[in-house]
Chains A and B, each alone.
Chain A
Amino acid sequence: MIPANSKGYSQGEQFNSELQQRYRSATLWQSVFLSALIIAIIALMALMYNVADGAFGFVAYEYNNQPSEFTTTPINELTKPELLEILKLNLSSGAYNKLNNEKAMESRSYSELMNLFMERLIKIDTKAVYSLTDSLLNKAEITKEVKEKYPNAILEFKSWLTPQFLISPMSSRAEFAGVRTAILGSLWLVAIAILFALPVGIGAAIYLEEYAPKNRISSMIRTNINNLAGVPSIVYGMLGLALFVRWLEPFTSGALFGVMDSNGRTVLSAGLTMGILSLPLIIINSQEAIKAVPDSLRQAAYGVGASRWQVIWYHVLPNALPGILTGSILALSRALGETAPLIVVGASTFISIDPSSPFSKFTALPIQIYQWTTRAQSEFHAIAAAAIIALLVLLLTLNATAILLRNKLQRKWL
């Protein structure tokens, strides 16, 4: 206790500081915030676990044709020349020539050839797929079950996410399907969305913050942009379908540029739709970043005789850029994961040709994942899980690139 003062007059008697109680409520709130954080972390870990659970695990498969029909060497001792020889002998000459035209057989890697061997000649037939948890905890039971049900089957621990999975095109057989086409499609989408939405979004934000008079109309526009950020993505899909796929078809199909035999359902239409979808968030975030540039800086620049444009170009934009980029990264990440609008604007669900121009047919990772999870066979669920990991890594890579870029652009003295 602090002793009462000796001067005899009242001091602080009208206060009741109740420190104990204040500390108690402080502790209470602190634990509330901590549990919120823990819940969030648990949710994220559950997500990661769920994905990993599907992407790895035991798989039981049978050979439709026994390797002994093609070679006397055990399968894992085959060399590249042997594989080439086997493929040449056993594939029909038409099929062999077709493959050779796609990519010369000699220049294919060992694992590519092995895959062809398995896919075209041995013809693997997956019988059962087990989750990672089951595979780790119930190995004995799985072995027993497979032995009883599929006496000829081979049981193997498999990671569905392999380098081969990343670089293979789409296939109707889950064992040989890959996400190359989907990854390239997603990259095209994001690139087109960035090219369209970043300049337009930042431009609109600059106009709203630096030029537009602060009146009723401009505040109405602001409010509406905020609302647009909450519109369901499927609505943007409908917009993209009407606007880009149908109305602007001569442009989006490439007919204007001499591209024939194409319709409006191109990666360009989808990319523009994604751009529109991320515009409101980019505008809002850019506005906030521009607002955060201190007014004293603008005044200083005007004070030495700068024009409005010079103030914006040399001071407002460079200082707002880190914030603008951070916000835009978030907006475009959302676009990368969108599925519904892509379905509406006509992403292909089965396509094995890489997108090569803005006027290509395309598919995207989320579309592929969605399509695979709706299949009945459990091996497709496994590759869907592997594709989710690929999508997450892609997202992480793009975000990391953007953050590095941002840090590089950020003035070193701020």
Chain B
Amino acid sequence: MDNLKYAIVTNNLSIHYGDFTAVKDVSLNIERQKITAIIGPSGCGKSTFLRAINRMNDFVPSCHVTGELLLDGINLYAKEVDPVEVRRKIGMVFQKPNPFPKSIYDNIAWGAKINGYKGDMEELVVSSLMSAALWDEVKDKLHQSAYALSGGQQQRLCIARAIAIQPEIILMDEPASALDPISTLAIEELMQELKKNYTIIIVTHNMQQAARASDFTAMMMLDMDGSRSGTIIEFDETTKIFTNPNDKRTQDYVTGRYG
């Protein structure tokens, strides 16, 4: 496998909740410094798959994973891999903005601090806020509460917080679903900037967003065999998925005749 080209490689990755298989046999190669969108109807396991990538599913007691999930060729579910270290390397932005109840500065500095960041904290905060295109709006109120920001600003703060721990990959779980169109556009523009340095995987319900913002698109859907497990039915370049998909179900979904 080409470790230089692909940041994340999954081989027959399945995610189970107890006896129930939520996501089945996912084999994907996710390219470095590209935006990969995961689309599909509600309840098909998109978020479950996304959370498996940085081992957030570890907190669900019955959840376990089979198959391989490789980051730079290392299986993230190998025994010797520490999930805390995985989450430092793979940052996450959640559906609803969830800043810490702290100042804007502390929101960004905290993750770096607990991970033993040795550099100049001030500089890190400034550069993270700049990368998240938030600096100009908050530079005068760094020590005020993050809760005073608008929803869109809070979400960009969460992105800045994720950037501050210098991850390789940023996972975004419907990052714009709680935001208005203008804030959504700001987030999408930001993603285009960020992909110069980071690999981004985004789950979205918004077809236009996937079409506009992503380079690759994975179409997920419940398996037809009645097991209610989600799986990837098609994975290709975004233009291909949206103009000329191979699978009829993808065609129906992206054109709005399905789901």
Contacts and interface: CB of A to CB of B under 8 A. Distances in A.
A300 B102 CA distance: 13
A413 B102 contact: yes
Contacts of B27: none
Interface stretch (B107-115, B205-213, B249-257): B107-115
Given A303-B56, A305-B165, A307-B84, 8 more contacts: A297-B98, A303-B54, A303-B91, A303-B94, A304-B114, A411-B102, A413-B102, A413-B147
Contact of A302 (B59, B61, B101, B148): B59
Interface residues of B, number: 32
B96 interface: yes
Given A213-B61, A314-B110, A413-B103, A302 B56 contact: yes
Nearest to B99: A300
A296 B59 CA distance: 13
A349 to B, nearest CB: 51
Contact of A305 (B84, B94, B103, B158): B84
Interface in A367-414: 411-414
A310 interface: yes
A413 B100 CA distance: 10
Contacts of B54: 303
Interface of A: 213-214, 294, 296-297, 299-307, 310, 314-315, 319, 411-414
B87 interface: yes
Given A299-B56, A306-B111, A414 B101 contact: yes
A293 B84 CA distance: 21
Contacts of A314: 110, 114
A305 B115 contact: yes
A294 B147 CA distance: 15
B13 interface: no
A305 B114 contact: yes
Q: In the complex, which of the residues A301, A319, A413, A414 has the most CB atoms of chain B within 10 Å of its own CB atom?
A: A413
B34 interface: no
6 contacts: A300-B98, A300-B99, A300-B161, A306-B84, A306-B111, A315-B100
Nearest to B147: A413
B88 interface: yes
A296 B61 contact: no
A232 B85 CA distance: 50
Nearest to A304: B111
Nearest to B92: A303
Interface in B116-154: 144-148
B183 to A, nearest CB: 18
Given A296-B98, A304-B162, A413 B145 contact: yes
Contact of B94 (A213, A300, A412, A414): A300
A319 B101 CA distance: 9
Interface in B147-205: 147-148, 158, 161-162, 164-165
Contacts of B59: 302
A68 to B, nearest CB: 74
A23 B162 CA distance: 53
A413 B91 contact: no
A186 B42 CA distance: 61
Q: In the complex, which of the residues A294, A297, A300, A310 has the most CB atoms of chain B within 10 Å of its own CB atom?
A: A300
A413 B101 contact: yes
A305 B85 contact: yes
Contacts of A414: 101, 147
A296 B178 CA distance: 14
A297 B100 contact: yes
Contacts of B146: 413
Interface string B52-78: 001010010100000000000000000
Contacts of A300: 94, 98-100, 158, 161
Interface in B206-254: none
A335 B140 CA distance: 49
A302 B99 CA distance: 13
Nearest to B83: A302
Contacts of A296: 94, 96, 98
B159 to A, nearest CB: 12
B165 A304 contact: yes
B170 to A, nearest CB: 10
A28 to B, nearest CB: 41
